[in-house]
Amino acid sequence: MTTRAARLFLAVSAARLFVEPAAAGEIPLPERRSSYEFMSRETRAMQDDDTGNPGTLWVLDGEALWKRKAGAADRACSDCHGDARESMKAVAARYPAFDPARGRPVNLEQRINACRVGRQKAPALAYESKDLLALTAYVARQSRGLPIAIAIDGRTRPFLEAGRERFFRRQGQLNLACAQCHDDLWSGKLAGSPITQAHPTGYPLYRLEWQGLGSLERRLRGCLVGIRAEPYAYGAPEFVDLELYLMWRANGMKIETPAVRP
Amino acid sequence: MTTRREFLVLACGAASVAAATKVRAQIDPNQQALRKAAMQEALRRVVGDAPVRRGRVKLELPPLIDNGNSVPLSVAVESPMTPSDHVKAIHVFTEKNPLPDVVSAYLGPRAGRARMSIRVRLADTQTVLAIAQLSDGSFWSDSAEVVVTLSACLEEGLI
Amino acid sequence: MARAIVNVPARAKRGEIIEIKTLAAHPMETGFRRTQLGELIPRDIIRRFVCTYNGAEVFRVDLHPAVAANPLIAFTTVATESGTIAFQWAGDNGYAVTETASIRVE
């Protein structure tokens, strides 16, 4: 390639990167595989059967909390949102979403807490608390079977880019980037466990390793500890940017909440 | 003292352990011997001196387990389940868990079928044993070998 | 708090063998785990599960720490008559949960 052609090529490539997040490294839609496909038949069966899926216990709790009045405003979620099966349909599929009040994207947990504090006038629910997990699971469950649909616009693009940069950045004592395993080495194995593509299609999910339900942030903290990096605090902007990128990277894949994973 | 789990956390991310041609259990051999003896003792408590025959019992476990914290286990026993000929109890034991007893189910003719499913914890690659006690006092058994791997990256105590 | 989920067919033919599936919410703390500071977390498990059919026991399980958290227990019973099938879980620290299901037997 001549220098001129090379420079032109680079200019065009660079321009594409600014105009629209290019597919550099992202797994093309037809090749996207849910972590469900990397599990054993038995674990898949555990997810598929609602009455045998322990995540259902949290979903049922969430349903009860949805209807329970709370806070100084003495209001239940249902008082404003009615039947979650209608009002929350497809909501989880587009989170994290931009929150104009904060000027940045927020995840589903933060959105629920914003309602708790702002509308119900109740204290925020702690991250990974039984109640927050139950409500998040109940809301996300209403998107089960629907495709993830993160729409990026001028407001959210910088946060998507920040999330992507984090996904590709080497971190921790082991100096590993998420992309190295989850873009380049998926379908391989790490010490006997399959390396998945790491799509957050089923959160909050019941993880056999936790013997309980947990959020995407809890799982990501596990990853960060695994590469010997300092895990970010729950709700940290670094996390939400990364969640936004991961969900966008999984666009088109179906929500599975409450999923079961090893 | 570095525990086995701590060691695995430190090793996480390094090249995966070269696959051995034979799958080896990871619990310290002295502890293995103690636990095996405990299982024999637990078995004796249930069976006494009576002979235990292989057969009539079918123990189902996935041969390769995603996570030892929750393993689906099924036991089925061939029996007409009539008042005069039925399965009275099904006992499950392990040889490498900290305790040998897993579960004991008590049935009768009203069960219709001598069949039960449950989710259990298995600490290591090992043999699981199922014993059926019939109404005529006889004992029958089946065993299954399972391979249990740990999660690649452990986050013990981290929330 | 959702304590348990039970799955029993609503109706059955007399003499039919029906499948029953139960799922209980319980951490089944083994008593072998330690906190990050090395303190032993005390055992806290479900010890016994009993199923009764119009009051008569039809299935019973003694559980040990080797049973997984949020245990699923599935078994069968003969649909003898219409009525109530009751499920009782009992365990450490006063844990006691009861669930019932009605069945119509024709």
**Domains of chain C in sequence order:** 4-105 (2.60.40.10)
User: In this predicted model, what pLDDT tens digit does every residue of A36-58 receive, in sequence order?
Assistant: 999 999 999 999 999 999 999 99
Q: How many helices (H) and strands (E) does chain C have?
A: 0, 8
C83-95: average pLDDT? 98
Question: H-helix or E-strand containing B34?
Answer: helix B29-47
Interface predicted TM-score (ipTM) of this complex, two decimals: 0.95
How close does chain C come to B139, measured CA to CA in Å? 18
Q: Is A246 helix (H, G, I), strand (E, B) or coil?
A: helix
Residues in C 8-67 with any Cβ partner in A closer than 8 A: 21, 23, 25, 27-28
Tell me what pLDDT residue A187 has.
Answer: 87
**Main-chain dihedrals φ then ψ at residue A261, nearest 5 degrees:** -140, 155
Nearest to C59 among B111, B119, B120 (CB): B111
C37-55: average pLDDT? 96
Q: Number of CB pairs < 8 Å for A and C?
A: 35
| Residues in A touching C5 (Cβ below 8 Å) | 51, 56-57, 60
Residue A116 resides in a domain = yes
Label the pairing between strands A104-106 and A97-99.
antiparallel
Nearest to A225 among B69, B70, B153 (CB): B153
CB count in 10 Å sphere of residue B14: 10
User: In this predicted model, what pLDDT tens digit does every residue of A55-81 receive, in sequence order?
Assistant: 999 999 999 999 999 999 999 999 999
The single residue of A77, A115, A178, A223 carrying the catalytic annotation is A223
Answer whether C2 touches A (CB < 8 Å).
yes
Query: From CA A233, how far away is CA A56, in angstroms rounded?
Result: 27
C67-91: average pLDDT? 97
- Structure tokens given for A51: 């009455």
Query: From CA C104, how far away is CA C12, in angstroms rounded?
Result: 6
Tell me what pLDDT residue B19 has.
Answer: 40
**Main-chain dihedrals φ then ψ at residue A257, nearest 5 degrees:** -55, 135
Query: From CA A74, how far away is CA A197, in angstroms rounded?
Result: 43
Asked whether residue B159 carries a pLDDT value surpassing 90, the answer given is: no
Angle, to 10 degrees, between the axis of helix A130-141 and the axis of helix A55-66? 90
How close does chain C come to B41, measured CA to CA in Å? 16
Answer whether C1 touches A (CB < 8 Å).
yes
More confident residue, B11 or B91: B91
Bond prior to A231 in cis (omega within 30° of 0): no
| Residues in B touching A41 (Cβ below 8 Å) | 62
Angle, to 10 degrees, between the axis of helix A237-249 and the axis of helix A216-226? 100
A181 flagged as catalytic: no
Tell me what pLDDT residue A191 has.
Answer: 81
Query: From CA A196, how far away is CA A39, in angstroms rounded?
Result: 10
Query: From CA C100, how far away is CA C85, in angstroms rounded?
Result: 6
Number of domains, chain A: 1
Residue A16 resides in a domain = no
| Residues in A touching C27 (Cβ below 8 Å) | 211-212
**Main-chain dihedrals φ then ψ at residue A11, nearest 5 degrees:** -65, -45
Contact C23 A52 (CB under 8 A): yes
A163-178: average pLDDT? 96
Residue A150 resides in a domain = yes
pLDDT category at A248 given cuts 50, 70, 90 is very high
Candidate from A1-15, B72-86, C24-38, C88-102 with smallest mean pLDDT: A1-15
Bond prior to B29 in cis (omega within 30° of 0): no
CATH label of the domain that carries residue A187: 1.10.760.10
Residue A101 resides in a domain = yes
Asked whether residue C70 carries a pLDDT value surpassing 70, the answer given is: yes
Contact B66 A227 (CB under 8 A): no
pLDDT category at B3 given cuts 50, 70, 90 is low
pLDDT category at A7 given cuts 50, 70, 90 is low
What domains appear along chain B, each with residue ranges and CATH number? Answer: 4-148 (2.60.40.2470)
Contact B111 C68 (CB under 8 A): no
Suggest the residue from B153, B154, B156 to mutate for an interface test with chain A (most A CBs closer than 10 A). B153
Single-letter residue type at B142: D
Q: What is the mean pLDDT of chain B?
A: 85
Asked whether residue A143 carries a pLDDT value surpassing 80, the answer given is: yes
Contact C61 B121 (CB under 8 A): no
Residue A172 resides in a domain = yes
- Structure tokens given for A250: 């999984």
Nearest to B70 among A208, A225, A227 (CB): A208
A110-124: average pLDDT? 97
How close does chain A come to C103, measured CA to CA in Å? 18
Tell me the pTM.
0.88
Residue A181 resides in a domain = yes
**Main-chain dihedrals φ then ψ at residue C92, nearest 5 degrees:** -65, 155
pLDDT category at B26 given cuts 50, 70, 90 is low
Residue A233 resides in a domain = yes
Tell me what pLDDT residue B151 has.
Answer: 67
The gap from C-alpha A100 to its chain's centroid, in whole angstroms, comes to 20
C71-91: average pLDDT? 98
Residue A17 resides in a domain = no
How close does chain A come to B7, measured CA to CA in Å? 12
Residue A36: domain span: 29-261
